[in-house]
Structures are given as C-alpha cells and as structure tokens.
Amino acid sequence: MTKLTIRGNMATALGAKLCRPDVIPAYPITPSTLFPEKISEYIADGELDAEMIRVESEHSAMSACIGASAAGARVCTASASQGIALMSEMLFIAAGMRLPIVMAVGNRALSAPINIWCDHQDTISQRDTGWLQFYAEKNQEGLDLMIIAFKVCEDKRVLLPAMVGIDAFVLTHTIEAVDVPDQKLVDEFLPKYEPELRLDPEKPMTFGSFGTPEFYQEFKYMQTEAMEKAREVIDEVFAEFKKKFGREYRKITPYKCEDADVIILTMGSMSGTARAAVNKMREEGKKVGCCKLTVYRPFPAKEIVELTKNAKVVAVLDRDISPGFGGALYGEVSAAFVNEEKHPFITNYIIGLGGRDILIEDFEWIYERSMDVIKKGRVEKPVQWVNLNEEVL
Amino acid sequence: MELYSKGHRACAGCAEPIAVRAVLNEAGPNTIGVVCTGCLEVVSTGWPETAWEIPLIHAAFENAASVASGVEVALRKLGKKDTNVIAFGGDGGTFDIGFQALSGMLERGHNVKYICLDNEAYMNTGIQRCSSTPYGASTTTSPAGKYSIGENRPKKPIAAICASHDIPYTATATVAYIEDLRKKVRTALETEGPSFIHVLVPCPTGWRHPSDKTIEISRLAVETGIFVLWELKGSDFNNIKITKKIRNRKPVTEYLKTQGRFRHLFKPEIKQDVIDRIQKEVDEKCKRFGVDL
C-alpha cells in the first residue's frame, strides 16, 4: 500500500489503472479532464498496458466503450455534465446490452446557465438508464469504488455498467490523502475479465438485435432483475473488499442515528459536512443524525426504511431538482415508505446547486425547519431551497 | 457458406442485401460487422433470428463508426488483429447523423472498413429527404408540388469528403458491377487503416421502380454518369482512378424516367429547366473526373 496526496480525478484514474482496463475511450470535459490525462500519462510512461481512444465527442466515447466491451475488453471512461447528457442515448444501450463498463464522473451542474461546479443533476437525470450509481464522499472512496464497481459489474449475476460519482472540484480538484492498494491485491480481488459472450468469429452472434413487442419486455425484465441481483452482489463485494483492503463500505452509512428525532440524508461530499454539523448539534443536545447514500442505483429503499422508520423527521437533501416535483432522492425515499404503516415526516431540501457551498449553518437551518415540523405535527412546505439569495430573485 | 443468409426481411428488389453479401463473401468469416440503425439492421436482426453468420453489433443510428472504433481497438489490444472490422451505415447514418462519428473514425486512422449503403433518403422511416438525396427527387419531406421541384439541393459528395481525410483508400461502387465492388472491398481489406466505400443501392420502395429493375437502374446510374465509379488511394484527387469509364454516355433522362421519384419532372409537363440542370451538372462532373471514353 502506498499513501499519496492526490486530487479526486487522480484517485479515480488510479483506481481505474489498478483494474487494468484494456480500452479507455474518453473525451475531455471539466471537471473530469484530469482522468483521461492521467490515463494517457500512465500509457505513455508504460505504467498501463491499455489503448486510449481519443474520440471526437462523449457520444462517440460511450459508443466506442460499447464496441470495445462487446469485443471482450475491460473498458472504462470518464465524463461529466453536458458530456453525460450527450451520451445519454448510449448509456441506455450500454445497459441494455449488458456491458460492464465503468465510468468515473465528476458530478457537475447542467446548463443553462452554463456552470462547471458541483451538483448531482448530471447523473441523477440518468438514473433510469440502467446503470449502477455510486457516489463518493471523498477521494479514497472514489478510488475504491472504481475497483468495487468493476467487480460488481462483471459478476455474471449482474453484467451491467456503473458510474462512480465524485463531486466536481470539491473532490475532483481537491487534494486528499489516499491509500493506494497494492496491484497484487487488486489483481487477486479483480481477476482478468473473461466474458462468456463476446463478438467472436469462432462463435458468431448478433449483439443489439431488433426487439419486437413479443420480446422487448422480457429483455427489460431480465435487465431489471440483474439490477435487483446487484443488491446482494454489492453487499458481497463490499464485504470482500473490507476483508482484502480493510476499508468498509455500506450502501447507506448512518451517523448518530440511533436515537435521532431528525435524520438528514445526504449524498457525496456534503456528507462530511453533515457529520460535522451533527457533532456540533449533538453537543448542543439536539437529537439529530445523518446518513449518506453511497449506492443510489439499485436504490437502497429497505435499508433507508429500516434506518429511519423510528425517526420523527427525515430531511432529504437533494443536489438536483426535478422542476415540477422536487428532488429525486426525496421522491424515492417517500416512495420507499408508501406501504409502511408508520413513517416519519419526509421533507426535501434542494441544496448546493451549481457549486453553491454547503455549510454547517445550512444543516442547522434544516434541523430548525425539521423541529418546526415536529412542533406543528405537519409539513407545510415539503420542498424547500436552502441558502437562496433573495436579492437575485 | 453465405455470411449474410437468406430469410432476411428486406423488400423485394432491395439492393442492400446484394451489396452486403458481396462484401461479406469477400471478407470471409473472420470478420466482425457493425451496423447502424436503419433498414439493414431492421430487416436482418429481429430477435431471436439473425441473417448474420458473422458476429455483428448494432448500437444506434449515428455511431457505427465509433462503435467500430471500439471494436477495432479492443481486438488490437486483445491480440486479434487479423479479424476484419467492417461497419455498415445507411446514407442517413453516414451523410447526416453519423457524419461526426465517421469523420472521427477516419481521422483517428482506425483499421475499419466503412461501407455506406446509399439509397438516397431515409427509407426506413418512410422516404424522407437526406443530404444524400439527389437534386430533383421527390421524397415525403421534399415532395414535388405546384411550388416544388422536389429536393432542391445537390447530393453531398460524401466519398470525396471522406477521401479528404487523407485516408488510405476511398471508392465508390454499385450493385450492377458486383465484381468491381468485390475488388474494391478486397483492396480495402488489404490496405491497413480506414477505408470508405460508397455503394449506391437502388430502393424500389423509395425510388418507386419495379423490384426487378434494381440492377438495370444501378447500371443506368453509371452509364448516364449520375454515379461515377472511382477509387483513390490517399487524398490527392489527381490520382483518382475511374474504374468504369463510359463510352457514349446516355442522357440522364434514361435514368430519371425509370423512377417514380422523378416522375414530376416529366408529367404533367416536362420540367426541362430541372432536367437541363441535372444534365449540366453530370456533364461537368464527368468532365472533371474524366469519365467519358
């Protein structure tokens, strides 16, 4: 094991490198550009035996990923924001063709207005593409989750692609200390990719067939079942990862939730700030906890219900917005409780869009709003925006 | 063994399967095919059947070239460099929506042989105008009418544009000259790096001609100079080789009259100005290319 102080993009690039990918088609986009740069360097310096395809768009990046993966290669790429929006069509196809491609994402806002900073709109808006989605809180998680993602995706019970999100700038460009696992251990953990089905002249078959109404639904059902199976595979891989590398991952990671009246749900880098805020509020005697989601697809509904069912308020923080509804995570947490007899109040906070800083005070404000709900015994405003600058409106 | 088998669902008289069979039989079984969305994919890949006796991948409409890029690089990385990678795009998937991906693939120098099967409109969706549609042709989105002569823009010179990428080999072909097509496929396969072969494929449904006239019309396209058969190594157009020179080139009307898409140029009255413009442009092109014997 080596300890390095590196940026998030380098952490995901190192994670990818340790997985020995064969082909990396990529197109530069802020804030992910360092990923293809580092991969290019590794190849140029002979540290990585792989082929880079310097494509002319993100759409072609994902298209080339699909071609290379179908031909039997281990494939990864990186993108963000507009790039992910552009490749959206191909994200559905990668999943539908059951190709275990892994993509590192620097989670960034979508235009307009154009904005290069962090939110989760880019990947959240692709939640129905059939990709597994992991969100990292820190650079170490970015590196580890790349390795974990390949292991889960290539499992024969799954065979689906995955994205690993690290927050734009907050992680992509921020230097943190990271433990880099030994190559030997990663090789033991993630053996060579040997797909059962591939484009092979010895055994010709057609990939990406025309699916008529008699068959299409069955394809989608099997794909959805694979996503369901990913639940147990993720748990197995998390356990194996802990055994091998000593670091523990969980689909959701609670913090001081046992006796909490208010539980704040978070994703990504804001989760660390949430814990700091909880510590501060706990010192003031407030019964508050927080919980981060590392896995967003498959959605850990059961785990969230189990954790939060005895709380009085679940405050769901969304770094994304579905105009005309609210945050995506809020909708899914609410849906998770819909058939439960007893459930907490569920409230939604839209926060940190386009790189707006998320502060300890914001969590305190959310806690106060949550206490209002408890006092009044009802939710007056289910979706609220945090830290809006009223002067601009 | 036929590598593109019978039982596919192409329209009677469709020239695409003729071209695909010729290409695959020349390439042999150690070939991976990539096909873009369109007629060819729809008629040949309906699950659980397939007309393809080689491994085939279809992903989307605009990206046969970039999917093929990925396949080719993966094969190289996995030590299977001797497998041919052949991409098939329709004219929509090549001239229009797939143009960027094609340009990227050519520019990057992938060892991919790209075959454009050009039937001069979006036939799979019902005969809509494409940048491949020739001047004067009536389509469902460029219909002839009281105020319209049909398509009012000339055909995009796709093969010349591809050649301008300075790729090792570019050629044009059509199904009436099947040996010429096979020879060009052979040359492409023997040439390291990207090749582009533009194949004119008459479409009885979209061109509105009897299904037994496909080969005749394909031949007339060449004999009138509407479609010139050429090949070029590199991008110096001085080196262009006309593979079918024409003695006593026929007037374009002999080609136009065979197809319903040009009927409005002759009925109810002859639109001589449009026909004259088509003839003039063909004459100029044939002179430029040195087509006439």
Q: Using pLDDT thresholds of 50, 70 and 90, give the confidence band for residue B1.
A: confident
Answer yes or no: are the C-beta atoms of A345 and A313 closer than 8 Å.
yes
CATH number at residue A331: 3.40.50.920
Query: Does residue A230 share a domain with residue A258?
Result: no
Distance to chain A for B65, nearest Cα, Å: 9
Residue A185 touches chain B, beta carbons under 8 Å? no
Output the 3-class SS for chain A: CEEEEECHHHHHHHHHHHCCCCEEEECCCCCCCHHHHHHHHHHHCCCCCCEEEECCCHHHHHHHHHHHHHCCCCEEEEECHHHHHHCHHHHHHHHHCCCCCEEEEEECCCCCCCCCCCCCHHHHCCHHHCCEEEECCCHHHHHHHHHHHHHHHHCCCCCCCEEEEEECCCCCCCCEEEEECCHHHHHHHCCCCCCCCCCCCCCCCEECCECCCCCHHHHHHHHHHHHHHHHHHHHHHHHHHHHHHCCCCCCEEEECCCCCCEEEEEECCHHHHHHHHHHHHHHCCCCEEEEEECEEECCCHHHHHHHHCCCCEEEEEECCCECCCECHHHHHHHHHHCCCCCCCEEEEEECCHHHCCCCHHHHHHHHHHHHHHHHHCCCCCCEEECCCCHHHC
Amino acid at position A361, single letter:
E
In angstroms, the CA B253 to CA A175 distance is 72
Q: Which of A193, A221, A245 is the last residue of a domain?
A: A245
For residues A105 and A158, membership in a common domain is answered with: yes
DSSP code, position B92: I
* Chain B: residue whose CA lies nearest to A96: B59
CB contact under 8 A, B66 and A207: no
Any B CB within 8 A of A70 CB: yes
Which of A67, A208, A210 faces B74 most closely, judged by CB atoms? Answer: A67
pLDDT band at B134; cut points 50, 70, 90: very high
> Inter-chain contact B47–A66, Cβ cutoff 8 Å?
no
Q: CB–CB of B71 and A70 under 8 A? A: yes
The answer to whether A53 faces chain B, any CB pair under 8 Å, is: yes
| Domain boundary residue, one of A245, A272, A292 | A245
Mark whether A125 and A164 lie in a shared domain. Answer: yes
Our CA-based measurement puts residue A71 at a distance from the nearest CA of chain B, in whole angstroms, of 6
Q: Which of A225, A245, A265 is the last residue of a domain?
A: A245
Same-domain pairing of A113 and A229: yes
Model pLDDT, residue B197: 99
Which of A23, A56, A215 lies nearest to residue B74, judging by beta carbons? A23
Record the tokens describing residue B292, joined without a space. Answer: 């006439």
What range does the domain containing A215 cover? 2-245
- Give A54's contacts in chain B (Cβ within 8 Å): 108
Q: How many CB pairs under 8 A join A and B?
A: 160
Share of chain B above pLDDT 90, in %: 100
Contacts of B52 in chain A (CB under 8 A): 204, 206
CATH number of this structure's domain B16-289: 3.40.50.970
Q: Distance between the two ends of chain B, CA-based, in angstroms?
A: 39
> pLDDT digits over A207-240, tens only?
999 999 999 999 999 999 999 999 999 999 999 9
Shared domain check, A225 and A240: yes
For Cα atoms A13, A19, A22, give the angle at the middle one, nearest 5 degrees. Answer: 90
Give contacts of B76 with chain A, Cβ < 8 Å: 51
Q: Write down the pLDDT at residue A1.
A: 80
pLDDT number for residue B96: 98
Using a CB-CB cut-off of 8 Å, the residues of chain A touching B108 are: 53-55
Q: What is the pLDDT of residue A109?
A: 98
State the pLDDT at residue A89: 98
CA distance A202 to chain B (A): 8
- Asked if residue A196 and residue A51 are part of one domain, the reply reads yes
User: Per the CB < 8 Å rule, is A53 touching B70?
Assistant: yes
Q: Please judge whether A71 and B71 are an interchain contact, meaning their C-beta atoms are less than 8 angstroms apart.
A: yes
> Do A196 and A113 share a structural domain?
yes
Does A209 contact B76 at a Cβ distance shorter than 8 Å? no
| Same domain (yes/no): A215, A349 | no
Confidence (pLDDT) at B194: 98
Please give the tally of structural domains in chain A.
2
Closest-CA residue of B relative to A50 is B77
The identity of residue A222, as a single letter, is M
Test mutation, A39, A54, A60, chain B, max B CBs within 10 A: A60
Averaged pLDDT in 10-residue chunks for chain A of 393 residues:
96 98 98 98 98 98 98 98 98 98 98 98 98 98 98 98 98 98 98 97 97 98 98 98 98 98 98 98 98 98 98 98 98 97 97 98 98 98 97 96
Is the minimum CB–CB distance between B50 and chain A shorter than 8 Å? yes
Residues A257 and A318 in one domain: yes
A231 and A277 share one domain: no
A212 with B30: Cβ contact below 8 A: no
User: Using the beta-carbon criterion (under 8 Å), do B73 and A204 form an inter-chain contact?
Assistant: no
- Give the integer Cα–Cα distance in Å for B106 and B97: 16
A210: nearest CA partner in chain B = B46
CB interface of A with B, residues 321-350, below 8 Å:
none
Question: What residues of chain B lie within 8 A of the CB of A211, using their CB?
Answer: 47
Locate A60 and state its tokens: 């072609």
Using a CB-CB distance cutoff of 8 angstroms, which residues of chain A are in contact with residue B30? 201
What pLDDT does A164 receive? 98
Q: What is the pLDDT of residues B202-216, one digit of tens each?
A: 999 999 999 999 999
Q: Are residues A88 and A135 located together in one domain of the fold?
A: yes
Tell me, yes or no, whether A173 and A307 share the same domain: no
